[in-house]
Structure 1
Amino acid sequence: MATPRFETIKAHIETQINQGDLRPGDRVPSENQLCEQFDVSRMTARRALQALTDDGLLIRTPGLGSFVAEQRPVASMMEVRNIADEVQQRGHRYRAEILKMENCPADEQQAWLLNVKPGTELFHSLIVHYEDDIPLQWEDRLVNPSMAPEYLHQDFSQRTPNAYLSQVAPLTEASHKIEAVLVDAQIASALDIDLMSPCLQISRRTWSAKGVVSLATLIHPGDRYCLGGHVKQ
């Protein structure tokens, strides 16, 4: 299968950044310029620029264009923590309920985010994490099999996917999206909340030195979890 055109543009710009041909603050070619250079539609050019922005390599300013970001993030300001450690550090008992461990084919969006071809078999897990028998987190995770080939054979009632993946594919980078959401009936039932209870959703993508490792959607009841931290530079 041929490489999608937007991936070709993305790789070209990323190479220029990594080689220093484009430096922090430099303006990258516009959508129109990329259309001309690569003979693609404006939608394809826009998708390439958006992918680079999502990866933290570009900053897009409406009316001005896209510019190389000051630095590529190694991790976001929010630390990637193991929920079992969080619970145990509070002096409480941790346990997990495994709802699903399966193979599933990557759709176009998942393939793009994990940098695999559409239709590639991914590993999929659904797990509910508990603190003292109170459901604290719904975890829906997709894993790139090439990064963790034994993922589906693990007993995640004994250690979390986070702990396992940190061992077999050590984290070098992560991106997060945090938002308030309402959940569907399945998730509400698993978390023992009603359908109108606000929840905190964290969408996380993680990388190792060899590429994208996993996509995870982590959902917490809003009255049972908060985010915080201290950053010093």
Structure 2
Amino acid sequence: MDNKSSVQARFVQIKSALLDKIERGDMCPGDKVLSENKLAASFGVSRMTARRALSELVVEGILARSQGVGTFVSDSRPMSSILEIRSIDDEIIQRGHRYSNKVLGVHTIHASERQSVWLGVSANSLVFHTKVVHMENELVIQLEDRLVNPALAPQYIEQDFIHTTANHYLSKVAPLTQADHSVEAISPNKELADILEIDITQPCLKISRRTYSSKGIVSYARLYHPGNRYRIGGHLDFHPSN
């Protein structure tokens, strides 16, 4: 390996090590990163090589520099609005990132008593159940666990969810008129942690969302996000009343 290639490999090594720590949650938004000198000493490289690694992560929005203070992990997690409902693939593509997914299951099941309450159907009724993992730049950011009322979307189960999302399809056949949802932090069990590709000690965001069309409840979805890769927010405008 020539000297130029060797420098390139060491610079990539530093970037990868920092990214791994951030993805694992060992370094969180606001945490200070080692200085160029300390990184250089730690990896046995020149200060210029360490500086290049940090500078590229700053340009990519992973790190943020504060003049005279240091370099910190930025809050670069994707953010979705809690105030609107959009298809997750549209959100990811709008950020300029790559969207992909993995379908874990597409089934017709008999609704349990709890599931029947969620969908507003009779217990033991047949309902559709899908589980899809959504990824951004090959990183898992959501497990979508969704129940759908067949009376309002009878062809739902026949869709190819590799090439369309539940949100896209349902918005066409049963346009949204209202929704209610809740957000909570949870600790994942092993199955969920494995699906989200996180350590079982990492917290998750769980969004429970029920959507309605003009004819009734269309779907009930539980959306699970790795807490260290995702955030939600919103903006409200308030106007004084006359």
Q: Same fold (TM over 0.5)?
A: yes
- % identity of equivalent residues: 49
User: Could you say what secondary structure the match of 2:232 adopts?
Assistant: coil
TM-score normalised by structure 1 residue count: 0.66
- Is residue 89 from structure 1 mapped to residue 94 from structure 2 by the alignment? yes
1:103 aligns with 2:108: yes
CA distance in 1, matches of 2:117, 2:184: 22
Cα offsets for 1:190-213 (capped at 9, x unmatched):
111011100110000000000000
- Post-superposition shift, 1:230? 1.2
Q: What SS does the corresponding residue of 1:85 show, helix, strand or coil?
A: helix
1:208 aligns with 2:242: no
* Larger CA Rg, structure 1 vs 2: 2
Distance in structure 1 (CA, Å) of the matches to 2:186 and 2:180: 19
Counterpart residue number, 1:127 = 132
DSSP 3-state at the match of 2:102: strand
Question: What is the aligned counterpart of 1:167 among 160, 164, 172?
Answer: 172
For 1:140, the equivalent position in structure 2 comes to: 145
Alignment RMSD (CA, Å): 1.3
Distance (Å, rounded) in 2 between the aligned partners of 1:176 and 1:169: 18
Partner of 1:61: none
TM-score by length of 2: 0.63
What letter matches 1:183 in structure 2? P
CA offset digits 1:61-107 (Å, max 9, x no partner): xxxxxxxxxxxxxxx96211211011001100101100000011111
The reply to whether residue 189 of structure 1 matches residue 197 of structure 2 is no
The answer as to whether partners of 1:77 and 1:231 remain within 8 angstroms in 2 is no
| Contact 2:82-2:233 at 8 Å conserved across structures | no
Q: Which amino acid aligns with 1:212?
A: I
Q: Is the 8 A contact 1:201 1:218 kept in 2?
A: yes
| Match of residue 177 from structure 1 | 182
Give 1:12-91 correspondences, 5 Å limit: 78-91=83-96
Instruction: Specify every segment of 5 or more residues in structure 2 that has no aligned partner in the other structure, as ranges.
Output: 1-80
Report the Cα offset of residue 170 of structure 1: 0.3
Aligned AA for 1:206? T
Equivalent residue number for residue 158 of structure 1: 163
Match of residue 231 from structure 1: 236
**Secondary structure of the structure 2 residue equivalent to 1:111:** helix
**Structure 1 unmatched ranges of 5 or more:** 1-75
For the residues of structure 2 that align with 1:178 and 1:224, how far apart are their CA atoms? 16
Shift of 1:113: 2.1
- Aligned to 1:79, the other structure's residue is in SS state coil
Moved over 4 A (4+): none
Q: Which has the higher contact order (CA 8 A, sep 6+)?
A: 2
